[in-house]
Amino acid sequence: MGRILFIIKFLFDKNIPIREKWWVIIPVIYILSPADLIPEPVLGFGIVDDLVILGLLLTIVYDKIKKYYFDNRNKDKDIIENVEYEIDKDEEK
Protein backbone atom coordinates (compact mmCIF):
# COMPACT_ATOMS: atom_id res chain seq x y z
CA MET A 1 0.00 0.00 0.00
CA GLY A 2 2.91 2.33 0.75
CA ARG A 3 4.23 1.97 -2.79
CA ILE A 4 0.91 3.00 -4.29
CA LEU A 5 0.85 6.08 -2.06
CA PHE A 6 4.40 6.89 -3.14
CA ILE A 7 3.35 6.62 -6.81
CA ILE A 8 0.47 8.99 -6.12
CA LYS A 9 2.88 11.39 -4.38
CA PHE A 10 5.13 11.16 -7.48
CA LEU A 11 2.20 11.96 -9.80
CA PHE A 12 1.13 15.00 -7.77
CA ASP A 13 4.63 16.40 -7.15
CA LYS A 14 4.89 19.79 -8.88
CA ASN A 15 8.67 19.43 -9.23
CA ILE A 16 8.33 16.42 -11.55
CA PRO A 17 7.94 17.39 -15.23
CA ILE A 18 4.70 16.25 -16.86
CA ARG A 19 6.62 14.28 -19.51
CA GLU A 20 7.97 12.05 -16.71
CA LYS A 21 4.48 11.53 -15.31
CA TRP A 22 3.13 10.49 -18.72
CA TRP A 23 5.46 7.45 -18.67
CA VAL A 24 3.36 6.24 -15.75
CA ILE A 25 -0.08 7.52 -16.76
CA ILE A 26 -0.30 6.31 -20.39
CA PRO A 27 0.42 2.60 -19.72
CA VAL A 28 -2.14 2.62 -16.90
CA ILE A 29 -4.75 4.10 -19.24
CA TYR A 30 -3.90 1.47 -21.87
CA ILE A 31 -4.21 -1.40 -19.39
CA LEU A 32 -7.58 -0.11 -18.16
CA SER A 33 -9.00 0.71 -21.61
CA PRO A 34 -11.05 -1.84 -23.52
CA ALA A 35 -9.11 -1.14 -26.75
CA ASP A 36 -6.26 -3.55 -27.51
CA LEU A 37 -3.56 -3.77 -30.15
CA ILE A 38 -4.43 -7.44 -30.53
CA PRO A 39 -8.13 -8.33 -29.99
CA GLU A 40 -8.75 -10.92 -27.23
CA PRO A 41 -10.26 -13.69 -29.42
CA VAL A 42 -7.36 -13.74 -31.92
CA LEU A 43 -5.72 -17.16 -31.41
CA GLY A 44 -5.52 -16.67 -27.66
CA PHE A 45 -2.78 -14.05 -28.07
CA GLY A 46 -5.02 -11.11 -27.22
CA ILE A 47 -3.76 -10.97 -23.66
CA VAL A 48 -0.11 -10.88 -24.79
CA ASP A 49 -0.16 -7.15 -25.58
CA ASP A 50 -1.66 -6.45 -22.16
CA LEU A 51 1.09 -8.49 -20.48
CA VAL A 52 3.80 -6.72 -22.47
CA ILE A 53 2.38 -3.30 -21.57
CA LEU A 54 2.01 -4.39 -17.93
CA GLY A 55 5.66 -5.50 -17.87
CA LEU A 56 6.68 -2.19 -19.44
CA LEU A 57 4.55 -0.31 -16.94
CA LEU A 58 6.05 -2.09 -13.95
CA THR A 59 9.61 -1.56 -15.20
CA ILE A 60 9.13 2.14 -15.96
CA VAL A 61 7.21 2.87 -12.77
CA TYR A 62 9.84 1.03 -10.70
CA ASP A 63 12.69 3.01 -12.29
CA LYS A 64 10.94 6.40 -12.02
CA ILE A 65 9.79 5.84 -8.43
CA LYS A 66 13.20 4.50 -7.34
CA LYS A 67 14.94 7.58 -8.77
CA TYR A 68 12.30 9.87 -7.20
CA TYR A 69 12.70 8.15 -3.82
CA PHE A 70 16.49 8.38 -3.74
CA ASP A 71 16.44 11.99 -4.97
CA ASN A 72 14.01 13.02 -2.23
CA ARG A 73 14.84 10.86 0.78
CA ASN A 74 17.27 13.41 2.27
CA LYS A 75 15.58 16.46 0.80
CA ASP A 76 14.31 17.85 4.10
CA LYS A 77 17.44 17.12 6.11
CA ASP A 78 20.25 19.62 6.53
CA ILE A 79 23.14 17.18 6.52
CA ILE A 80 26.59 18.14 5.36
CA GLU A 81 28.84 15.19 4.66
CA ASN A 82 32.53 14.81 3.87
CA VAL A 83 33.60 18.11 5.41
CA GLU A 84 37.05 18.57 6.83
CA TYR A 85 37.58 21.16 9.53
CA GLU A 86 40.17 22.16 12.05
CA ILE A 87 39.84 24.14 15.27
CA ASP A 88 42.68 26.56 15.89
CA LYS A 89 42.94 27.19 19.65
CA ASP A 90 45.78 29.68 19.28
CA GLU A 91 43.74 32.23 17.37
CA GLU A 92 41.97 34.84 19.52
CA LYS A 93 39.26 37.12 18.39
Domain containing residue 9 = 2-72
**Domain annotation covers residue 67:** yes
Query: Each residue of 9-28: pLDDT tens digit?
Result: 888 888 888 888 888 888 77
Q: Confidence class of residue 78 from pLDDT cuts 50, 70 and 90?
A: low
**10 or 41, which is more confident:** 10
pLDDT value for 86: 80
Could you give the CA distance from residue 8 to residue 30 in angstroms, rounded to a whole number?
18
**Domain annotation covers residue 83:** no
The domain tally of the chain equals: 1
Task: Provide, rounded to the nearest whole percent, the portion of the chain with pLDDT above 90.
Answer: 0
> Which residue type sits at 48?
V
**Domain annotation covers residue 11:** yes
Average pLDDT, integer, range 38-48:
68
**90 or 64, which is more confident:** 64
**Domain annotation covers residue 87:** no
